[in-house]
Amino acid sequence: MKIIHFSDTHLGYNDLDILNEQNINQREADFYDAFTQVVAQIKKIKPDYIIHTGDLFHRSSPSNRAITFALEQFKILDALNIPFILIAGNHSTPRTNLSSPILKIFESFKNIHVSYSQEYKKIEFKNALFHTLPHMNDDTKALEQIELCEKNINAEKKNIMMMHCSVGAWYLMQEFGEWVYPSDKEVIFSKMDYVALGHWHGFGRVGKHENVYYSGSTERTSLNDKRNSKGFVLVTLEEKNSSLFGDFNVEFKEIKIRPIVQKELDCEDFENVLIDASDTENAIVEVRLTNLTPLQSIEIQNAEIKAFFPDAMSVSVKREFKKGTNETDVTDVEALSLEEYFLEHIKEDADEKEYDRLKAKIGELFAQYEEANNDSL
């Protein structure tokens, strides 16, 4: 039996204020592209089941575009005649009872089975039993639901548990309202053939359990997530009538996402610094200027740095000052723009009132400057 497990697709997520040729936020389009790649692989692999462990959409009230995209893709998946089971994550669960859960829109599809009601739901097939525990806002209720799940394990079939939560403190995403699975209930995992998890955005096996996996997200919802490897999981469970009975295999299948590339430019010898931009085509590039002196910080402009990476999708610049070369406290400031540096300078000579007046003026001037500067690029 083959199962494709994917998760945390966060459709509708956008970032970076960059539009593509279709006037869609480029990062939003990247998330749609990642989803499309998984669908293409599903069509190719033709698994027996498809499972998604939550955060299909980035918001509990997604945009029209995100909903339209999802409906188009689900229509393709539904036509494959493969059961597709999905659960709600914290991003798609309304925080009040006033709004309706978005996953409801998929209920009319023949092969799509959704679980979003903040309670245990058993979804049963001839040879497999899916124990779904969607995101729950109430921990006490969640505990009862886990117990209910345990009672429903049926050794005659393959038992697959699906959850969107953090198993152990290691997998906390630092998000509001996330659900932490109670550690004393981890014993249930050994009674399952596979435990499919969503919420943590990196692929990986959980702790000492050999059958418990996060598939990870299909794209990055934060540029702090430097993982360049995203994808889905292909699980193989051998059934009783097979000669390979008992065999269990989990394979991570990578998809191609926009790379994130970090570069460090040492400003000690800025004139002669060598820049290798060969790996930055269409990438999100993050440049760290290190060992900067305040004077260099004024001289070296972001536009100049960006010009080193003409094929990048975006370039962000972080400035780090050389330690111990400056007489002012400016060195303590990690990332300083020209505007901030200018203000620091004024602060030294002006009284508070005058500083406030100048600050507003400077803000205005810099906004104009940035605009003109961007246009020239």
Binding site for Mn ion (CB under 5 A): 8, 55
Distances (CA, A) of 51 to 68, 160, 257: 20, 10, 21
β-strand partners of 146: none
Q: Residue 28 or residue 55: which is nearer to Mn ion going by CB? A: 55
Closest CA to 216 of 234, 235, 197: 197
- In the complex, the smallest distance separating the C-beta of residue 59 from Mn ion, rounded to whole angstroms, is 11
Residue type, 225: D
265 neighbors 273 (Cβ within 8 angstroms): yes
Residues in the chain: 377
- Calpha distance 87→112 (Å, rounded): 11
284 neighbors 261 (Cβ within 8 angstroms): yes
Q: Residue 6 or residue 49: which is nearer to Mn ion going by CB? A: 6
- In the complex, the smallest distance separating the C-beta of residue 58 from Mn ion, rounded to whole angstroms, is 8
Burial zone of 239 (CB within 10 Å; 0-12 exposed, 13-18 middle, 19+ buried): middle
Q: Residue 55 or residue 193: which is nearer to Mn ion going by CB? A: 55
- In the complex, the smallest distance separating the C-beta of residue 83 from Mn ion, rounded to whole angstroms, is 23
Q: Residue 220 or residue 263: which is nearer to Mn ion going by CB? A: 220
- In the complex, the smallest distance separating the C-beta of residue 233 from Mn ion, rounded to whole angstroms, is 15
Strand, helix or coil for residue 281: coil
Q: Residue 138 or residue 175: which is nearer to Mn ion going by CB? A: 175
Q: Residue 55 or residue 320: which is nearer to Mn ion going by CB? A: 55
Give me 246's structure tokens.
């008992």
- In the complex, the smallest distance separating the C-beta of residue 95 from Mn ion, rounded to whole angstroms, is 16
Give me 42's structure tokens.
């599903």
- In the complex, the smallest distance separating the C-beta of residue 89 from Mn ion, rounded to whole angstroms, is 6
- Calpha distance 302→376 (Å, rounded): 13
